[in-house]
């Protein structure tokens, strides 16, 4: 997969379109917003515009049946957890977070201790929580980069294993997440994804020149 395809498929379709604020600064994100008449900086984007983009992206990602369960991380519950509840949970994890309002409201947390969130592996480089117009959690994005091979194995096994235990085999599985395979060339990715009418979960392992070995977990509400 090319770097352009990574940005378009990852950030553009499954991150930007579904309302995670940081991805709005990607090339794909800026193009999508420009189509709606939103200039840079994206701080001026409205909730209605973000909601429009999110719904358009969900149309291409949603499955046909509801999920039996909708796992996220750290006790966060999609379409239920409020910003205040999320802040309290992250405070207990000693996470340093800041609020960013880009149409939707987003909590951006850096350097979060993984164990405090109930996750395996090294500290979380960035964690984004996105809250929809009703003030409820609609997206969780957990990203770790610059990882050692053993860290990649631990994080992938933990994230993919939790989803498999809850939901069975993924609907989509592409690439090989083994660190030696990912590191064999400058641009490699592996991904598993679950698509339901009300839920989309994705785990992606990648090797990119700018970030080295990385793993990203996404848990998204697909309720319309």
Looking at residue 23, what is its pLDDT?
45
Are 108 and 128 a contacting pair, CB within 8 Å? Answer: yes
Coil, strand or helix: which one is 137? strand
Q: What is the mean pLDDT of residues 35-46?
A: 50
User: What residue has token string 């519950």?
Assistant: 77
Strand intervals (E) in the chain: 96-102, 104-112, 124-131, 137-144, 172-174, 188-195, 199-208, 212-221
pTM of the model: 0.82
| pLDDT tens, residue by residue, 201-218 | 999 999 988 889 999 999
Query: In terms of DSSP H, where are the helices of the chain?
Result: 3-6, 27-35, 47-61, 83-92, 149-167, 179-182
For residue 13, what is the DSSP state? I
Looking at residue 159, what is its pLDDT?
98
Percent of the chain at pLDDT > 90 equals 61
Looking at residue 57, what is its pLDDT?
78
Are 30 and 41 a contacting pair, CB within 8 Å? Answer: no
**How many Cβ atoms sit within 10 Å of the Cβ of residue 38?**
20
Q: What is the mean pLDDT of residues 45-73?
A: 83
CA gyration radius, the chain: 16
Looking at residue 102, what is its pLDDT?
73
pLDDT band at 120 (very low <50, low <70, confident <90, very high): very high
In the predicted model, is pLDDT for residue 144 greater than 70?
yes
């Amino acid at each position: 997969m090319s770097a352009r395809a990574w940005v378009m498929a990852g950030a553009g379709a499954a991150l930007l379109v579904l309302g995670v604020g940081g991805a709005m600064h990607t090339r794909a994100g800026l193009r999508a917003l420009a189509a709606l008449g939103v200039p840079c900086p994206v701080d001026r984007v409205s909730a209605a515009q973000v909601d429009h983009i999110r719904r358009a992206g969900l149309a291409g990602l949603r499955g046909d049946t509801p999920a039996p369960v909708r796992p996220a991380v750290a006790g966060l519950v999609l379409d239920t957890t409020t910003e205040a509840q999320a802040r309290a949970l992250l405070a207990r994890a000693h996470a340093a977070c800041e609020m960013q309002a880009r149409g939707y409201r987003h909590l951006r947390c850096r350097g979060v201790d993984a164990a405090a969130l109930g996750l395996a592996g090294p500290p979380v480089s960035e964690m984004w929580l996105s809250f929809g117009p009703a003030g409820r959690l609609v997206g969780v994005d957990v990203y770790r980069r610059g990882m050692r091979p053993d860290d990649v194995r631990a994080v992938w096994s933990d994230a993919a294993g939790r989803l498999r235990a809850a939901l069975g085999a993924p609907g989509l599985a592409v690439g090989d997440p083994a660190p030696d395979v990912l590191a064999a060339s400058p641009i490699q990715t592996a991904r598993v994804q679950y698509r339901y009418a009300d839920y989309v979960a994705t785990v992606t392992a990648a090797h990119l020149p700018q970030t080295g070995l990385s793993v990203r977990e996404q848990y998204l509400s697909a309720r319309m």
